[in-house]
Amino acid sequence: MKKLLILFLAMLLTGCVEKEILDDINIEVAVGYDMLEDSEDKYRGTVLFQEFQPDKSVINRTFSGEGTIRQDIRMAISKQSSEPVVTGGLKLAIFGPEVVKKGMYDIVDSLQRDASIGARLFVATSDGKTEDLLKGEYGSRGNSTYIYNMISHNVEKRDIPKTNLHLAAHDFYQKGKDPFLPRLKQVSKDKVEISGISLFKDDKEVDILRVENLFFFKLLVDKYSEGNFDISVSKDATAAVKSIRSKHKIKILDNKADIKIKIRGVIREFTGDALTPDVIKKIEKNLEKEVETKCLKLLKRFQEQGIDPIGIGQLKKSQNRNFDFKKWEDDYKNMSFNVKCNVLIEETGVIE
């Protein structure tokens, strides 16, 4: 009898769910936000939809609207669409250069409060207008899938630290760690690339790390499970260190931060004459020196900008019960850093 009652109640609840047929709705897969020209508080939002064709090809369609808040933009776009607009498939949220200079907290807060949007949504910035970027034609699986996969594989196997809406919102809200986001650039109508990382103070972009610094930045804020880096051995010899795995440990004593970085890797290519044990040792030492020098330079750069994307303030807070963030701002300016790197080449193929 109890089983019959539960089954009956389940059928009643199922009847209360609003049904949406995929062919009868427009599902947002990406959205971009630009500042409206000649306005300090009004946005121009561009939403990307993907239409799947019978031959498995994808048509990219965009609609744009204006408003002072995200819901205004959604209302404006809904008025242009012949089907209801839903956000359940949103994969990307991209912010234009004027938006990140003004401050993007309100929109990020709106996105993370929307229960229909998954926390794994990627948030990124753009070198130029997001409307132009979303109107390109990238790959055969649709713009949203192309850009999402591009960021995803760069997180997993290249130099972009872990990032998504949940992590970005967490950094925006907490004290002691400043946010960072991947930065996109439209190279041509059919090509887009990751051009660096945007660094923020609160919710405003204050600096941009270019591609050549991303390897060292990821060593400081994340860990590698499968990375790559080329290291010079001499004028005529370069070693390609592949399958890099890394981890870091930060220890703070008084007003000094000791950062230890461990790297394990495999030499897959070498342009010199012979890969001898002595040459391997030199590769390890050269990579250690390169990491220590470049990471220390980045830490001092962050210090000068008054930003803390590494999260040293958050770590310091976790060690002190009555932590004073106002005092910490002055302490951080005078903090000293010591970076120590240990590199071990675990495999080299045939050693001559």
User: What's the whole-number mean pLDDT along residues 106-123?
Assistant: 91
Task: Give 2's DSSP letter.
Answer: H
Q: Which two tokens stand for residue 146?
A: 């192309």
Assign 26 a pLDDT band (cuts: 50, 70, 90): confident
Q: Which of 11-20, 52-61, 200-209 has the highest mean pLDDT?
A: 200-209
**Does the pLDDT at position 1 exceed 60?**
no
Instruction: Flag whether pLDDT at 104 surpasses 80.
Output: yes
When mean pLDDT is compared across 21-30, 71-80, 110-119, 177-186, the lowest value belongs to 21-30
Domain boundary assignment for the chain? 15-210, 223-347
Q: Helices 105-113 and 70-78 sit at what angle, rounded to 10 degrees?
A: 70
Given this model, what pLDDT does residue 18 score? 44
- Say if strands 204-210 and 191-201 run parallel, antiparallel, or are unpaired: antiparallel
Would you say residue 14 has pLDDT above 60?
no
Taking the C-alpha atoms of residue 171 and residue 202, their distance in angstroms, rounded to an integer, is 9
pLDDT tens track for 167-217: 999 998 888 999 999 999 999 999 999 999 999 998 999 999 999 999 999
Q: Domain 223-347 carries which CATH code?
A: 3.30.300.210
Q: What is the pTM of this model?
A: 0.90
- Of 262 and 351, the structure prediction assigns the larger pLDDT to 262
In one letter, which amino acid is 214? L
Residue-wise DSSP of 43-95: EEEEEEEEEEPTTS-EEEEEEEEEESSHHHHHHHHHTT-SS-EE-TT--EEEE
- pLDDT tens track for 283-341: 999 999 999 999 999 999 999 999 999 999 999 998 888 888 889 989 999 999 999 99
Maximum pairwise Cα distance, the chain: 83
Residue 13: pLDDT over 70: no
pLDDT digits (tens, 9 = 90+) for 134-169: 999 999 999 999 999 999 999 999 999 999 999 999
Residue pair 329/264 in contact by the 8 Å Cβ criterion: no
User: pLDDT at position 241, please?
Assistant: 94
Average pLDDT of span 79-104? 91
Mean pLDDT, the chain, as a whole number? 90
Bridge partners (DSSP) of residue 45 are 33, 65
